Amino acid sequence: MSIDLDRWEIVIGLEVHTELSTRTKLFSGATNEFGGEPNTHIDALTLGLPGSLPVLNEQAVELAIRVGLALNCTVQRSVFARKNYFYPDQSKNYQISQFDLPINVEGYLELPDGTVAGIERAHLEEDTGKSTHIGGGGRIHDAQHSLVDYNRCGVPLLEIVGKPDLRSAEQARAFVAELRSILVAVGASDGKMEEGSLRVDCNVSVRLRGSDELGTRCEIKNINSLRSLGRAIEYEAARQVDLIDAGERVEQQTRHWNEDEGRTLKLRSKEGSDDYRYFPDPDLVAVDPSQEWIERVRAALPILPAARRHRLAERSGAPLEQTALIVERGLDDLCLATIEAGGDATRTITHAEHNLSDERARQLSPTAFAELVGMELDGQLSATQAKTVLAEMVVDGGRPADIAASHGFEAMDTSELEGIVDGLISSNPGEWQRFCDGDGKVTGFFVGKVMKATSGQADGKVVTALLNLRKSS
């Protein structure tokens, strides 16, 4: 179900809610913990008991500022507003959120491919409790009764609204992945989509390529993984294109992603939606972080993924795209240190990209790594040998020279090699003739024979070079 991308453009804006890693809830001292027996992380405000009052959690503000700065936002004076609607897991039947004046505005993040995606705002709000529907297979429409757990009610959330700058499912996935790594890097969230601490809603619209106007968008909910995000976007874009092609119009609505069936289903129409009657919460005062607080947070920010990619690209000369995987694996610091210790940049990067997928690779000693790369470039180790030695270093540590010796990997004497090559040339004149005539496939024959003769210790590239040398002489 793919659409003609020459004709159509997909426009995507994501809304990401993340639970903040605080000890207590946003407005009360009830504990913020995942799991646990139902209704054991509650207090008066969590349940909306008469007479209860909210008091803002300082750490939630700290984390909000951290994320805001990490997303290049302006941190501003903000006000809490009540979003009024009735639902049993909303214990006061209003949610304390931020409306006109959110704490963070106008930021951006950079995707690994270099695309800059805008962030409209990131604001604080309370999470709701959870209801389960009993009877009727757990489906809301056939339930006999519902049960409500308020453990999650009041947990601090940061709602991050991205601008509709994304143009493909891949970009959307990259956006979420990048956002998640930022959130984890600054310690604001554990970013676990499976556990619900990171929730993604997706706004999708389509338009004819070249058009400036935005098409009608639909909001898609119930996306629980990056894979679902990609699938949902592609399904929804195709659905909308089909509608338009059939002469119908796309209705603005909220749709539910059904993972099993692989499609989106209408939930409710957004036109004429609930009137939330937002107004400033009279129980709370404004939050106006001082410049001093903001600068303190800024100074303490760790180096973020985008900056890491750029730094590695600059210092290693590798193209930006190649650095993404390395940074994702958390190996950029290692690479930099290795290059610093004298390791060849290109070789280091290549190893990091292809041969260091094991988690333990982060513990590699940069000097040892640099030594290994050096041995490889000297010709002391073939590429294959180097890979083996490296793998062992990751698991057991140690010096590359020692490991090479223990494997019996020795520097192959070039004259010995030449002797073997010459011997093979004389004993295989037919194949040699074909090689000289330009038959590239025969190379493998000779290299294979050399490998056999040297028990795999010869460097294939060196052998090929020798063959070519002989050919031209």
Partner 1 sequence: MQKVAKLARLRLTDDELERFTGQLADVLEHAADLQTLDLTDVEPMAHPVPLANVLRADEPGPALGRDEVLAAAPSAENGLFRVPPVLGEEP
Partner 2 sequence: MSALGALGLAAAVRSGERSAVDVLDEHLARIAEREPEIHAFNELTADHARSAAEAVDRSVAEGRDPGALAGVPVAVKDNLCTRGIPTTCSSRILEGWRPPYDATVVSRLADAGAVMVGKTNLDEFAMGSSTENSAFGPTRNPHDITRVPGGSSGGSAAAVAAGFSPISLGSDTGGSIRQPASLCGVVGVKPTYGTVSRLGLVAFGSSLDQVGPFATTVADAAAVCEVIGGHDPGDSTSIPGAFPSVSDHLDDGVRGLRVGLVTEMMGEGIAPDVAARVRAAVDALAAAGATVEEVSVPAVSFGLSAYYLVAPAEASSNLSRYDGVRYGLRVDAPTTGEMMELTRTAGFGDEVKRRIMLGTYALSAGYYDAFYNTALKVRTLIRTEFETAYERFDVLLSPTSPTTAFEFGAKTEDPLSMYLNDVCTIATNLAGHPAMSVPYGTGDDGLPVGVQIMAPTLGEVPMFRTAAVLEAGLRDGSGS
| Residues forming the site for partner 2 (CB under 8 A) | 44, 47-56, 82, 84, 86, 88, 91-94, 146, 148, 275, 277, 279, 282-285
Of 1, 5, 29, 379, which one interacts with partner 1 (CB under 8 A)?
29
Distance spanning both ends of the chain, measured CA to CA: 59
- With a CB cutoff of 8 Å and minimum separation 6, the contacts of 117 are 108, 109, 110, 111, 162, 163, 165, 166, 171, 175
CB of 77 to partner 2, least distance (A): 16
Identity of the residue, 110 or 126, whose beta carbon is nearer to partner 1 in the bound complex: 126
- Closest approach of partner 1 to the CB of residue 132, in Å: 8
Taking the complex as a whole, the smallest distance from the CB of residue 10 to partner 2 amounts, in Å, to: 31
CB of 145 to partner 2, least distance (A): 9
**H or E element that contains 117:** strand 116-126
DSSP string, 359-419: GGGGG--HHHHHHHHHHHHHTSS-HHHHHHHHHHHHHH---HHHHHHHHT--PPPHHHHHH
Q: Which of residues 34-73 bind partner 1 (CB under 8 A)?
A: 37-44, 46-47, 55-61
How far apart (Å, rounded) are the C-alpha atoms in residues 458 and 214? 61
Q: Which residues contact 361 (CB under 8 A, 6 or more apart)?
A: 329, 331, 334, 352, 394
Which two three-digit tokens encode residue 274? Answer: 């609930």
Q: Is 274 in the site for partner 1 (CB under 8 A)?
A: yes
Separation CA 204–CA 381 (nearest Å): 53
Pick the closer one to partner 1 by CB: 280 or 460: 280
Which of 68, 215, 289, 343 touches partner 1 (CB under 8 A)? 289
| Least distance between partner 2 and beta carbon 283 (Å) | 5
- Choose between 271 and 437: whose C-beta lies nearer to partner 1: 271
The secondary structure element, H or E, covering residue 19 is strand 8-19
434 binds, among partner 1, partner 2, none (CB under 5 to 8 A by kind): none
Token representation of residue 310: 């750029």
Cα separation, 265 vs 222, whole angstroms: 11
Q: Which does 50 bind (CB under 5 to 8 A by kind): partner 1, partner 2, none?
A: partner 2
State yes or no: residue 251 binds partner 1 (CB under 8 A).
Answer: no
Nearer to partner 2, 201 or 281 (CB): 281
Given the complex with partner 1, which of 29 and 262 has the nearer CB atom?
29
- Residues in contact with 201: Cβ distance below 8 Å, sequence separation at least 6, in sequence order: 14, 15, 16, 17, 219, 220, 221, 223
Which one, of 124, 3, 4, 118, lies nearest residue 56 by Cα? 124
For residue 56, report the phi and psi dihedrals to the nearest 5 degrees. -70, 135
Within 10 A of 310 (CB to CB), how many other CB atoms are there? Answer: 16
Q: Count other C-beta atoms under 10 Å from residue 90's C-beta.
A: 20
Which is nearest to 76 in space by CA: 306, 274, 291, 314?
Answer: 291
From the list partner 1, partner 2, none, partner contacted by residue 82 (C-beta under 5 to 8 A by kind): partner 2
* Smallest gap from residue 225 Cβ to partner 2 (A): 30
Residue 51 contacts which entry, partner 1, partner 2, none (Cβ below 5-8 A, type-dependent) = partner 2
- The number of residues that bind partner 1 (CB under 8 A) is 64
Which token pair is 291? 């410049």
Identify what 37 binds: partner 1, partner 2, none; CB under 5 to 8 Å per kind.
partner 1
Answer for which of 5, 85, 208, 300 binds partner 1 (CB under 8 A) is: 85
CB of 60 to partner 1, least distance (A): 8
144 binds, among partner 2, partner 1, none (CB under 5 to 8 A by kind): partner 1
Q: Answer with the entry of partner 2, partner 1, none that 53 interacts with (C-beta below 5 to 8 A by kind).
A: partner 2
Residues in the site for partner 1, rule: CB under 8 A? 22-24, 28-31, 37-44, 46-47, 55-61, 77, 79, 85-90, 128, 131-133, 135, 140-141, 143-150, 256, 267-268, 273-277, 279-280, 282, 284-289
